[in-house]
Structure 1
Amino acid sequence: MKNAISLSALCCALATSAFAQDKTLTISVYSFAQDEYKEILYDPFEEICDCTLVVETGNSVERMAKIEANASNPVIDMAVIASQDALELARKDLLAQLDVSKLANLSKLYSAAQDPIGDNFAVGYTFYASSIVYRSDLIKVNSWADLLDEKLAGNVALPNITGTQGPLTLMMLDKAAGNDGSDLTGVISEVGKHADDIVTFYSRSSELTQLMNQEEVIAAPVGRFAWSAFKDSPLPFAWAEPAEGQAGGMNVMVMTKGNGNEDLAYQFMDYWLSTEVQTKVAEALVDSPANAEVVVSDEIADNLTYGADLINSLNLLSPAEIIDNREAWVEQWNTEVIQ
């Protein structure tokens, strides 16, 4: 009988061990800084949860398409995407409404990150400011309007409207023209009038870095997350503080609807939002923290979108505004700008 009991206990132990090894969380993330994320976030979490993380990367369009294509049987449990992309997925009924009581670190986030698209379909994990990088030995940028000034004709790059930076730049150009930045039709037409003076409409920040280091471009809007590439250049680049302020955006965490792996996804999301992890990610200059408890040195902060004063001052474009108008904006852009 003792042998039977021992054998039964051993089987239970093996089954429990096998179950732990079989715990897998599949996440969909941006492709940058994966080595840093593995060291700071993925490996430590796997030790904590006794589980396996499957990490899928790619651009936003591809990753969103995969979530939509597998709606009836999700292959992605949790994803990080731009706030407007999250809202688009939520409107298609592809996201789970989060039970925020399972996110112990939610209250530590800046208020704008706690429910960024409404109805608890997402939670923000990083902010980014957008401003203008320029050659400080050649020019001085005081306003977003300077990008279309004839003095800079032939020396400016602008982001394509289909990229994250595109609508933000147009919003700030519209504000510089004395408007409120909500209706972009007029400013798209204005950019169209200056299209021949623009070196390129870039799609990736890496493309812009190359152009500016080759001295083909001396001023361009860029997200703060790409600033380190310019700051470390031997050329004298500066980060503008325009009169109209800086634009801003947020990347968020979402959970797919009906993935069946919700508890593990909540555990991972909450760990990522913790002060410990958010601090390490910030110190590695990977992402700017949405956790308001994070404290970093002035040197680190200079490379990030950091601190309540800056975050609360950012000009944010509503995710709903982007989604509701994107198709019309792109059509107008293609007609009047990309001729």
Structure 2
Amino acid sequence: MILWIVLTVMIALAAVGLTIPLVRRYEQRPQGKTVDILKGQLSEVDAQVAANLIDPAEADALRAEIKRRILVEDRDHAAVARPFAQTSMPWVALGLVAIVTLCATALYAMMGHPELTSTSVTATAAPSEAQTAAADPKAHPMGQVSNMIAGLEAKLQQNPGDAQGWQMLAWSYMRTGRPADAAKAYAKAVAIEPNNVEYLSAQGEALVQSEGKVSDEAAAVFRRALKGDPADPRARYFLAIHRDQTGDHAGAMNDFVALLKSAPPDAPWASQVRTYVEDLAKEQHVDLTGKLPPAPVTAVAAPGPNSAQVAAAGNMSDADRQAMIHSMVDKLAGELK
């Protein structure tokens, strides 16, 4: 009932707005003043011709234009017959309001649905995100990952001496875009096992990702990793970048070349390091002819993240990233069992 009343009032207001022009009085424009000005311009043209200020041809053109404007002014201000008398206009407007209101109400009664409530509208709305996730659990893998990360954090609070748990948490942070938290988690693992090269190297990479460069702190961590394993490719790679950042381009080039020469034939990072070295050589105008080992014909993909991977491995397609997330979910699930 309330809806009917509201709609009727709205229709009536709209009809009143449409009928306002019918009851408004016509405003008379000052026709005589404009015509007098134009006639005065005709007299001024005649005076200028008499004084030889303008030639007759130009005067004729001016007279024609002024006369045209006088005719237009007379036509625009001609009397307009009104369809109804002034005293009848309010009644005409009231009748139009009543007709429009009644017709609109009748049309809505026949074709509308006044009994429809907001509850039924809500019931027919698009499915919510929770419903979509319930229909397809893999459509929102990040929610599962967040829950499992929270479970792993709770587990480590109860057992903070679990170095592998801190490593798994740090790896999860890295894969969910939290490198600063990953660096802290790796630091926890390193504190438990200070000579673990894998933890040290991964901590350094997390610092690089967090700070956007190979800082002195990250370089110190990588040097600790090399003390435990002088052949660690990740530490060697980032230390070479650090030398390049500090201005030792020649030393960085030598480190990169040595890293490529010692790389296994199936190293998944070799092609990316080679590309980096070649670009750096072009910038520094260094000839690498005969210095680099032959490029492998095919590259063998690595099964997953390990100490041989480098920072450039983060550039992956959406499909690869989705597959990585699902793999992480499975690994975290196994860790929490």
- Please state which band the TM-score falls in when normalised by the shorter chain: under 0.3
| Structure with the largest fraction of helix | 2
| Structure with the largest fraction of strand | 1
Q: TM-score, normalised to structure 1's length?
A: 0.22
Which is greater in Rg?
2
Q: TM-score, normalised to structure 2's length?
A: 0.22
Q: Which has the higher contact order (CA 8 A, sep 6+)?
A: 1
